[in-house]
């Protein structure tokens, strides 16, 4: 009972922290990153990842004794994580957070499809139906009601590609990290993210120019906001990873569906009480679309969980 409550607490803490991060990122992207690449925002995540990795090795130097092959796999998971965030940030710069996040619930569906292709697993009828329902909800929330109900294929494609990377990263972390302590696995993962981001920063002149431009124009506000976002994101990531070591991957991923609810609630509260920072469209038809879509996604997720 205690283990169940522990993994569920951390599995729920992760989407809550991610939801806060999503709203902060949306505000920053709309205010300070309109004339530069949206992925420039990720450099703050890279910096925090490097700080966490250094902190772990200082307080737990035994992490350096992990066998090279396993260390390399966990390090690779960190690299994959960095490239999973990139398309997500691009999607967030285009669309509202409450429309982007529900699409992530196609991850369990992709996990099952991978199981069919790679391991010859078969889906039951309820599982297949659940997958169709989840995808339908994700498609519904991506319809642009103000533009002849045009489907936003670019946003959906960006999030879908992000889902593929996230799924691969999570599977790698759980497969190898489960054999070691939480801090051992986290060290190599954060190190991989930091190295990947620093490599991109060091090899891309445009990336460096955009980062310097945003830092100069946004000043302290960008630094504080982006740093807070990165800290919350890394906190959510650690909570998610810890729950992965305590429960099945699919179960943890299903709980992440609550992120859509957190995002919608936080975004709506901001739009109502602090409209200066609220980036949520709270018109009646848009709210109905979002709520109905999230309900459909949750219905499919519940069916997948029960099956």
Phi/psi of residue 197, each to 5°? -65, -40
**Token couple for 184:** 């051992």
In this model, does residue 197 exceed pLDDT 50? yes
- The predicted pLDDT at position 255 comes to 74
pLDDT tens digit string along 69-92? 999 999 999 999 999 999 999 999
Give the 3-state secondary structure of residue 120.
coil
Q: At what angle do helices 2-32 and 205-244 cross, to 10 degrees?
A: 160
In this predicted model, which residue has the larger pLDDT, 110 or 264?
264
Mean pLDDT of the 94-98 span: 82
Please state, rounded to an integer, the average pLDDT across all residues of the chain: 83
pLDDT in tens, 114-166: 666 655 656 677 767 876 787 777 677 767 666 655 667 788 899 889 988 98
Residue, of 298 and 213, whose pLDDT is higher? 213
Tell me if 184 sits within 8 A of 63, measured CB to CB: yes
280 pLDDT band (50/70/90 cuts)?
Answer: low
* Residue 18 binned pLDDT confidence (cut-offs 50, 70, 90): very high
User: Taking Cα atoms as reference points, which of 74, 96, 252 lies closest to residue 175?
Assistant: 74
pLDDT digits (tens, 9 = 90+) for 216-228: 888 899 999 999 9
Looking at residue 200, its pLDDT comes to: 93
| E strand residue ranges, 123-261 | 143-144, 150-151
- What is the model's pLDDT at position 2? 44
Q: At what angle do helices 107-119 and 125-141 cross, to 10 degrees?
A: 140
Contacts of 254 (CB under 8 A, 6+ apart): 108, 301, 304, 305
* pLDDT surpassing 90 at residue 190: yes
202-216 average pLDDT score: 91
Nearest to 300 by CA among 139, 129, 140: 129
Q: What is the pLDDT of residue 276?
A: 77
pLDDT of residue 239: 92
Residue-level pLDDT at 118: 56
Per-residue pLDDT at 198: 95
Please tell me the least confidently modeled range out of 28-32, 59-63, 110-114.
110-114
């Amino acid at each position: 009972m205690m283990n169940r409550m522990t993994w569920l607490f951390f599995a729920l803490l992760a989407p809550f922290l991610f939801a806060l991060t999503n709203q902060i990122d949306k505000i920053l992207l709309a205010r300070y990153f309109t004339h530069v690449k949206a992925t420039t925002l990720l450099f703050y995540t890279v910096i925090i990842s490097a700080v966490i990795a250094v902190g772990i090795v200082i307080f737990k130097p035994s992490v350096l004794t992990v066998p090279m092959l396993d260390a390399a796999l966990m390090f690779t998971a960190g690299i994959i994580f960095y490239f999973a965030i990139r398309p997500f940030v691009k999607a967030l710069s285009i669309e509202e957070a409450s429309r982007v996040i529900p699409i992530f619930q196609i991850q369990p569906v992709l996990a099952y499809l991978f199981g069919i292709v790679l391991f010859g697993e078969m889906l039951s009828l309820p599982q297949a139906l659940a997958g169709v329902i989840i995808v339908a909800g994700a498609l519904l929330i991506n319809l642009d009601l103000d533009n002849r109900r045009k489907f936003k294929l670019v946003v959906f494609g960006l999030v879908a590609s992000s889902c593929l990377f996230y799924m691969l990263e999570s599977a790698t972390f759980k497969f190898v990290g489960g054999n070691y302590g939480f801090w051992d696995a986290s060290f190599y993962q954060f190190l991989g993210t930091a190295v990947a981001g620093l490599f991109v920063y060091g090899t891309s002149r445009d990336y460096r120019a955009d980062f310097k431009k945003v830092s100069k124009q946004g000043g302290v506000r960008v630094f504080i906001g982006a740093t807070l976002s990165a800290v919350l994101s890394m906190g959510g990531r650690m909570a998610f990873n810890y729950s992965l070591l305590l429960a099945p991957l699919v179960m943890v991923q299903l709980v992440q569906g609550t992120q859509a609810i957190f995002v919608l609630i936080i975004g709506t509260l901001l739009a109502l009480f602090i409209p200066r920072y609220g980036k949520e469209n709270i018109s009646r038809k848009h709210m109905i679309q979002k709520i109905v879509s999230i309900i459909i996604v949750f219905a499919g997720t519940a069916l997948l969980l029960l099956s």
